[in-house]
Structures are given as C-alpha cells and as structure tokens.
Structure 1
Amino acid sequence: MTIEWRYTAEQDLGILSVSGYLGPDAVHRFTGAVGWALARSTGPVIVDLTGLRGWSAEGQLAITEAARRLAASGRSLELAAIPADGSLVPGGDCPLIPVHADLAGALAAHSTRHDEPPQGRPEWQTTGRPTGDQQRA
C-alpha cells in the first residue's frame, strides 16, 4: 500500500493532504512530497491526515524526520487529524509538532479565515492535473 498526496500553497502556509496508509512502502513518496512543499512555498506546512487510514512506526518516523527537515529551513510542521490508532511520539531531539483535531482547527490556529477554497491558488497532487474547481475532502 502507498499514499496519495495533494499540496496546496496558501498565502502564509502550505497544506500537504495525505491519504492511504503511511507505511514502509510509502515513506519515500511522503519524503518527496515534503521536498515538494519545501521547494514551493514558505512558512509552516500543515500535514492534513484526514484521509490517512493509518501509519506504521516507519511512517511516524518519516513525519518526525519531515519536522526536522522543515526546522532546518526555519519552518515548522503541524499535523491535522492524526489517525485514531495511535499518537505520534517524536524523539527528544525532534522539534515541537503541533497537533490539531482537524484541518479547520489547524487553519484557525493561523487566524486566517478559510471557509471557501480561494480560486486560482497553486495546487499539486500525485495523480491527474489540478483544476481551479477542486474541493477539499
């Protein structure tokens, strides 16, 4: 099993939505998605895990490594809607990873109103070409 991802750049942050199962087979794809986020925006990256069915220890490690990678660039990683089957337990040397109950809560924490997706915002995903009328799940 692997993951699918979609990255959306907002004004002051990025949203990396991940679905599927973040296990050993998907770590490389997740790492690539984080690299995509680093190269295409500035500010914090919210990893939206609403569509994630679960994660393995390797998947959790990939998330903590992504937090380190972003911190090295002066940026932060935040999580929204972690899987119900476990919580993330980063090592002591990992940067703080804020965890939000859902994407709406994560966006509200950045004090920007996001009721409707803005038209024409940059969006990338693993399959197909993005269109201006895609909606968040």
Structure 2
Amino acid sequence: MAKTPVPIDIKLHKQSKTLELVYATEQFTLTCEYLRVYSPSAEVRGHGAGQEVLQTGKINVAIDAISAVGNYALQLLFSDGHDSGIYSWDYLYQLCSHKEAWWQDYMDRLNNAGAVRDPDIQVVKIGN
C-alpha cells in the first residue's frame, strides 16, 4: 500500500483565504471555503452515508488558526467557529487530488438544493 504524502510546508494566506500545501513533488492551494464545506467533522459528514449536511453561505469563511494533531493531521479553526474537523494527511491529500471534481459536486449539490455560497443572499424559488 502506498504511503500518503505528507506536506513538507504549509502556509496560510489570510488575505486570499487559501491554504497552500507543498509536497515533495507537487503543490496545491485550497480555499478556506473548500476546506470548510468538506470538513471531516461529524457536523458536516454525519455519522454515516446519507447523513451529510450541505454547508451553505461559506464563501467568506477564513481560517483563524491551524494546530498540529500529533504527526498525522491538522485541526483548523474557521472564522465561523467551526473547529471540530481533524484533517488527516490522507484526507488533505484527497482534498488536493480531487479538488476540481469535489468542488463541482459541491456546486451541483448547492444548485440542486436552491442554496448559495453567499450568506447575504437569500434564494426564493417560485413555482416548480
């Protein structure tokens, strides 16, 4: 079984609200919004298949603090108070590797739910 890559450098860019993960052979930049809506916490993922909670209105969310969890993960404290997700090295690498597909899936789920990324916008559906 292949060993999950571990970042050799991690940089939080507060102004652009991005997290940069540098690996030995590649580099990724993830938005705070993406990391927040794909939090590995039970609050977001639920406790089993079909229990996921769609996160809406997170376009302005930022990361206020990052803490190491042993030698295997990061804990991110988001500006909306969310801090219960533990981002293992494996999960972070999955977030990096599947960024485009997972982001499109999120956008599709938002659209299907009639929800938006901006907390200052309310969507009202009229008719069917």
TM-score tier (shorter): under 0.3
TM-score normalised by the chain length of structure 1: 0.25
- TM-score, reference length from structure 2: 0.26
Greater Rg over alpha carbons, structure: 2
